[in-house]
Each structure stands twice: as C-alpha cells, then as structure tokens.
Structure 1
Amino acid sequence: MVVTTTADIQQEKTGGKTVTVTVDGEPVDVPKRTTPNTILALAGIDAGTHYLVRITGRHQHSFAGRGEEEINVHERETFVSVSTGPTPTA
C-alpha cells in the first residue's frame, strides 16, 4: 500500500523543487509552490489548531482561514505559527 501525503502531491506538482524556510525559528524544507497548511504540516504543527503568518520585515501576512490557498515561497522566508486555541492565563 502506497500512502500519498499532501507534501508528496505538492512535490510532484513542483517537480521536486524545494526551498528552506524558517517556521517558528526552525528550518523546514518545503516545495516552492505549496499551501500554508502544507508548510505547517512539514513543520510538525497541526493545521487544525494553528494558522501560518508570513513575516516580511515589519509586515505580517496572515493566512488565517486560507490554509489551502496555493502560494509561492522563497528561500530563507520567515513564517510563524499562531494557535487558534484559547490563550492560557497565569
């Protein structure tokens, strides 16, 4: 039985071209043409409880509610994940 993951499908679409981006400070290899949810999955983050934000200088571009939108990513881009769950109080 062959299991096909979202990442496998994305790599097939892009001919295997990947770039290294940073998600929450950790390097992650992702397809150049991908989705925010795929980036989260490759970073080991649950897309059901998080969304992705692209950081460009002082600007933040949120992909909240658009996790399946196809995007182009570039080498050394920076992303952070944001939890959609409740914020704990001290």
Structure 2
Amino acid sequence: MTTVDTQHQEIRHETVTVTVDGEAVEVPKRTTPNAVLGLAGIDAATHYLVRITGRHQHSFAGRGEEEITVHERETFVSVSTGPTPTA
C-alpha cells in the first residue's frame, strides 16, 4: 500500500506552467481554482478564476474548491468580485 501512496503523491506533485493575468505561474496539474489564484498571489476571497480557451471563457465563480486538471501553457484570468471603481 505504501508504494501505491507514493505513486499517487508523485502524480499529485506533477506541475505545469500556466499564465494567470499574463504572468507565468507553476501549479500542480491537479488543483483547484482557488489554489491557482493563491499561487499567482491573488486573494481567492475577492477574486475568481476564468479559463480562457480560444474565444471561450470558462468561469469558476462559486466553484473555487472544485478539483480541476490544468495543462501546460493554459491561460487564465482573475476577476474581482468587489465593486468596480469609477473615475
């Protein structure tokens, strides 16, 4: 059983590099949207993650703790949940 646990730990620790708000971030391949935000230095309490695929956007609003699989060179943006300031 220890061997299987070790194999699963290795899989969980596999990392990929994605882009969040234009910045490269190294994240585990299996993670959560909130963890991606945290690794990018963004507060998950005030933001949510959106996956950009071509012209499509996949929002993780309200699903920050859902487990997701991310792939090398994927693009994400963060969206603030707070009020938008006006000038």
Q: TM-score, normalised by structure 1?
A: 0.85
Q: Give aligned pairs, total.
A: 79
Task: Tell me if the contact between 2:12 and 2:30 (Cα under 8 Å) persists in the aligned partners.
Answer: no
**Distance between the aligned counterparts of 1:51 and 1:15, measured in 2?**
23
Aligned to 1:65: 62
In structure 1, runs of 5+ residues without a counterpart are 1-11
Equivalent residue for 2:3?
none
Report what 1:29 is aligned to. 26
Shift of 1:16: 1.7
Larger Rg: 2
Deviations 1:26-72, CA, capped at 9 Å, x for gaps: 00000000000000000000000000000000000000000000000
Q: 1:37 to 1:13 in 2, by over 3 A?
A: farther
Give every structure 1 segment of 4 or more consecutive aligned residues whose post-TM-superposition deviation is greater than 2 Å. Answer: 12-15
TM-score by length of 2: 0.87
Could you say what the CA RMSD is over the residues aligned between the two structures, in angstroms?
Answer: 1.1
Cα distance in 1 for residues equivalent to 2:47 and 2:26: 19
Q: What SS does the corresponding residue of 2:35 show, helix, strand or coil? A: helix
Percent identity over the alignment is: 84
Between the aligned partners of 1:87 and 1:24, the Cα distance in structure 2 is 18
Q: Superposed, which structure 2 residues align to 1:1-90 within 5 Å?
A: 12=9, 14-90=11-87
